[in-house]
Amino acid sequence: MKTKKITVVVPLGEHREYTALESVKKQKPSVNLFLEIGRNPPQNRNKGVKKAKTEFVAFINGHTILSDDWSKNVLKFFKEHQEIDIVGGPQLNHEKDSFFAKTSGYVMSSLFGGATIANRYKISKLDLNADESQLTSSNLICRKKVFSKVLFNESIYPGEDPKFISDAISQGFRVASTPSIAVYNKRRQNLKGFLKQTFNYGNTRPQQHDFATTLKKPLFFIPSLFVLYIVLFGFLSALHMMFIAPLILYILLSLFFSFYEAVNNKSFLAFFVLPIIFFHTHVAYGLGFLYGLVQKKRLPQLTDVVQ
């Protein structure tokens, strides 16, 4: 029997649905599977890391479906790119997902909805100098040596995966993104669940770095500025008609990207739903980001996390 080279760690909340098992069992070469159950996903991942004895440790979610050649392509990639320490690929819409779930996936993969992180959710070209904007822990594979210097910050969720990747880069590890290592992720099934997820993403963004570092990525502030604009719209438009222009521009952009995504994904009905989801996504993220700024507290340093 050949020695397995990959351990797949799946953090799973108590009483949460687990659909990843079948696709993990289909992998050739076969992989080890550690299912870590608990209320703290980054802590669950760290527990799996400490148990793993293989050369590579991978992370997926409980509802992630691996492509049939996933493990084969992972090993092939690391063999061809000895200089890379961490690699990941896109998490795509699952073909059996509901209409709303797929449409929310179109939002996340759109430049208008996902901005700099849109490449996490669609097929993109090979990048051997990737960063946290391109990868997530639903499809992330690391050489075991990475964890001698970096672990997941257990005080952040969601958003612990970009923090982990940025910490790894700061420690000198090389990160890549490749379309050959793809998975399929089930999305939130309704607007309420999707907006809660988006709010939480915004909420944890300011916690991942100090304020000065966050300022270096001003794009993340735009949804919050949009929220403030909407709140003050009545007052501003009464002051001068020119303050209506940003709203008109927003509507035009929303319609343009809705049309593009509907055509690109061959979903006529999506055109009528996308503007609504785009708007709520921007508001939810903006509110979450503002709340995160207010609630921001000091995070443990890297040396506090690595044991």
Domain boundaries, the chain: 6-184, 192-295
Q: Is the pLDDT of residue 304 over 70?
A: no
Q: Specify the DSSP element, H or E, that contains 78.
A: helix 70-80
Burial call 52-69: b when 16+ CB within 10 Å, e when fewer: beeebbbbbbbbbbbbee
Q: Check: pTM over 0.75? Answer yes or no.
A: yes
- Quickly state the pLDDT bin for 211 (edges 50, 70, 90): low
Q: Which of 11, 9, 71 is nearest to 41 (CA)?
A: 11
Distance CA 167, CA 82 (A): 20
- Quickly state the pLDDT bin for 219 (edges 50, 70, 90): confident
Domain 6-184, CATH number (from 3.50.30.50, 3.90.550.10, 3.40.1190.20, 2.60.120.10)? 3.90.550.10
The CA–CA distances, whole Å, from 62 to 8, 37, 247 equal 11, 10, 40
**238-265 residue pLDDT tens:** 898 999 999 999 999 999 999 999 999 9
Q: Which of 13, 4, 18 is nearest to 65 (CA)?
A: 18
Structure tokens at 211: 């304020």
- Quickly state the pLDDT bin for 298 (edges 50, 70, 90): very low
**102-141 residue pLDDT tens:** 999 999 999 999 998 999 999 999 999 999 999 999 999 9
Average pLDDT value for residue range 41-59: 96
**What is the SS3 assignment for 285-305?**
HHHHHHHHHHHCCCCCCHHHH
